Chains A and B, each alone.
Chain A
Amino acid sequence: MTPPALSLVVLAHDMARALPRTLRSLAPDYQATAPVPPAEIGGWEIIVVDNGSACPVQAAEVAPPDVALRVIRRGPEAAAAVAEALNQGLQNATGEFVGVWIDGARLASPGLLGACARALRLHPRAVVATRNYHLGPALQHAAAMSGFDAAAEDRLLNSIDWPRGAARLAEIATPEQPDPTGPLLESNALFMRRAQWQALGGFDPRFGGAGGGAVNIDMLLRACAAPGSQLIRILGEGTFHQLHGGVTTGAGPRRAAALLKLGSKQYFRLRGRPMRALRQRGWLYDAALGALRPDSPERAHG
């Protein structure tokens, strides 16, 4: 059997409400936005790593149409081991390219996979970072403090007739970073060739704590620091966080800041240097153009 071009590893823990939408957003009929048709992506598979959910994810209940989906179940005792869970997903990936969702509660915009698939093919060591958004009028750890709840989130999605109106997701969401070309600390959906993930050794299990601490930040920073790598930022597409009581976005601003500080300390101890956001713009892939933006800096590779 021919392996798919792309494997998507989606981590989930107690996301019974949010995960089905995320998986729905990864179906071929949803990821059908021009200018990149699903056929160009080359087929994909979804690997859900259920990291100790109280109610285990049932593939038959959450599988979107027309895409292969597997569920790897890990017991409740493994729930804190985020890096190990992600690495287990990576080990099961068969595609030439792999996209990793550290947070299965983030649904995709409808051109995301096409943009990432095309961007990945622009450079042999592409590190493709996507933009993080939160559904709602503010970042969810702040919005939740002023009454934004699951019902309000449902109303927002209904207001754009999601999933049919998925192209309007950005209208009902707030980006984590106002400037998509500014300092970049994390990408929920991060794409590289499978060989790159392997060469980097996957996620570092020494990062621990709530939600894996700084493990995803560390992954992005290491990937971009690897010799010959090329950061490509996807503009115009992204992943959109849904409320699910997660460790950071469900925590309130004070707790979210405290968790980031904790991640910073852990990173400093493990790496011996400060955890610094990427300031390089990298190449800028404009999803609407279906190509790199003409003003992409450092565009040296042929």
Chain B
Amino acid sequence: MSDDIAASRRIVQDWVVRYIAAVIDLAPEAVPLDTEFREIGVDSAEVVIMTGVMEEEFGFEIDAELPFRRATIAGLLDALQEAGLVAA
């Protein structure tokens, strides 16, 4: 993925949902967007690991502590959008 063109929120969201679904062995459509990661069954280390893979996939940099402050999929995407890393 190019560094120059921000991925759309929908693409990144789908990626995150699929990633988490694979981690917790759940169907993607069953992964909630507004539930905290730990309540979904993904611990903080796994979320940090996911952000590393996101950086590799999408070419942007994420503060490693961001998922602690914005601890839902929707919150994480909001933060990335606010930072201009994903497009609406």
Contact = CB atoms under 8 A, between A and B. Distances in A.
B47 to A, nearest CB: 9
B43 A182 contact: yes
Contacts of B49: 260-261, 263-264, 274-277
A264 B65 contact: no
24 contacts: A182-B43, A183-B46, A185-B45, A254-B64, A254-B65, A257-B64, A257-B65, A258-B64, A260-B48, A260-B52, A260-B64, A261-B48, A261-B51, A261-B62, A263-B52, A264-B48, A264-B49, A265-B56, A274-B19, A274-B53, A276-B46, A277-B45, A277-B46, A279-B23
Contacts of B52: 260-265, 268, 275
Interface in A217-261: 253-254, 257-258, 260-261
| Secondary structure type dominating chain A contacts | helix
Given A260-B64, A264-B52, 12 more contacts: A177-B43, A254-B64, A260-B52, A263-B52, A264-B49, A264-B51, A274-B50, A274-B53, A275-B49, A277-B45, A277-B49, A279-B23
Contact of B56 (A254, A258, A269, A276): A269
Contact of B25 (A262, A263, A279): A279
Contact of A183 (B19, B43, B64, B65): B43
| Secondary structure type dominating chain B contacts | helix
Contacts of A182: 43
A253 B45 CA distance: 11
Nearest to A253: B65
Nearest to A257: B64
Nearest to A256: B64
Interface in B12-57: 19, 23, 25, 43-46, 48-53, 55-56
A139 to B, nearest CB: 11
Contacts of B65: 253-254, 257
Given A254-B64, A257-B48, A264 B25 contact: no
Contacts of A185: 45
Nearest to A264: B52
B58 to A, nearest CB: 12
A253 B48 CA distance: 12
B75 to A, nearest CB: 17
Contacts of B46: 183, 276-277
A259 B60 CA distance: 17
A276 B46 CA distance: 7
Given A182-B43, A257-B48, A264-B49, A276 B55 contact: no
Interface in A257-290: 257-258, 260-265, 268-269, 274-277, 279
Given A253-B65, A274-B19, A268 B56 contact: yes
Nearest to A178: B43
A268 B52 CA distance: 8
A275 B23 CA distance: 10
A258 B65 CA distance: 8
A261 B43 contact: no
